[in-house]
Amino acid sequence: MEQFFEIGVITGTHGIKGTMRVFPTTQDPSRFERLKEMIVEIRGKQETFHIQKVAYHKQFVLLTVKEITDINVAELYKNGRILIPDALAIPLEEDEYYTRDLYGLQVVTEDGEVLGELVKIYETGANDVYAVQKEAGDKELLIPAIKDCIKKVDLEAGIMTVHLLEGLR
């Protein structure tokens, strides 16, 4: 089964000709300019659209697609997720990971102590922060996503090895 990445969420319309206002959920909003088509998932269904024009307004991406030329039709897609197939994802550099692949990893210290499962990723601006929980309802252990703390990520084994800096517990 093909997997997809979410790169945006339709928040509304722009103008009367069906242009969609999209909040980008990708780190590189200019990636929309490199796409010829996109998939919109809403209410459990997926539909493919052909991109005609990409523009920007404040923090939003404005998308005009061939299939929609009316504001009333565009409104039907509000809250839809914009998806692309994995094959169109931006290639990763060394020691970079897609956040979706990190959720659920078992987090252990260099000494082998099991800290729990990576359950949340907070984007702080400077660096991400990983929230780890041993049991549901436990207090989160917050670990900054920096080289001093994250020593190894083994996606195949499902394990992230960390070094806890003083004061993190």
Q: Cβ of 65: how many Cβ atoms within 10 Å?
A: 20
pLDDT band at 22 (very low <50, low <70, confident <90, very high): very high
Question: Looking at the predicted structure, is the pLDDT value of residue 45 above 60?
Answer: yes
Number of C-alpha atoms within 13 angstroms, CB side, residue 158? Answer: 7
Q: How many Cβ atoms are within 10 Å of 94's Cβ, its own excluded?
A: 4
Taking phi first (over 0 means left), then psi (-120 to 50 degrees means alpha), and beta for anything else, what does residue 167 get? left
* pLDDT interval class at 1 (50, 70, 90): low
Separation between Cα atoms, residue 47 and residue 101, nearest integer Å: 25
| pLDDT of 124 above 60 | yes
Mean pLDDT of 28-55: 95
Residue 63 and residue 121 in one domain = no
Of 55, 88, 121, which residue is a domain's last?
Answer: 88
Does residue 13 sit in the same domain as residue 83?
yes
> Containing domain of residue 128, as a range?
99-162
| DSSP symbols for 41-78 | EETTEEEEEEEEEEEEETTEEEEEETT--SHHHHHTTT
Residue 22 and residue 81 in one domain: yes
Read off the CATH number of the domain in which 73 is found: 2.40.30.60
Write out the two tokens for 35.
């796409």
**Which one has a higher pLDDT value, 129 or 1?**
129
- Of 33, 125, 16, whose CA–CA distance to 24 is shortest? 33
**What digits encode the pLDDT tens for the residues 147-165?**
999 999 999 999 999 999 8
Tell whether 167 is covered by a domain: no
| Together in a domain, 81 and 110 | no
Is the pTM value of this prediction over 0.75?
Answer: no
Q: What is the pLDDT of residues 50-93, one digit of tens each?
A: 999 999 999 999 999 999 999 999 999 999 999 999 888 878 88
Assign residue 151 the CATH number of its domain.
2.30.30.240
Residue 2 in this model has a pLDDT that exceeds 80:
no
Residue 20 lies in a domain: yes
Number of domains in the chain: 2
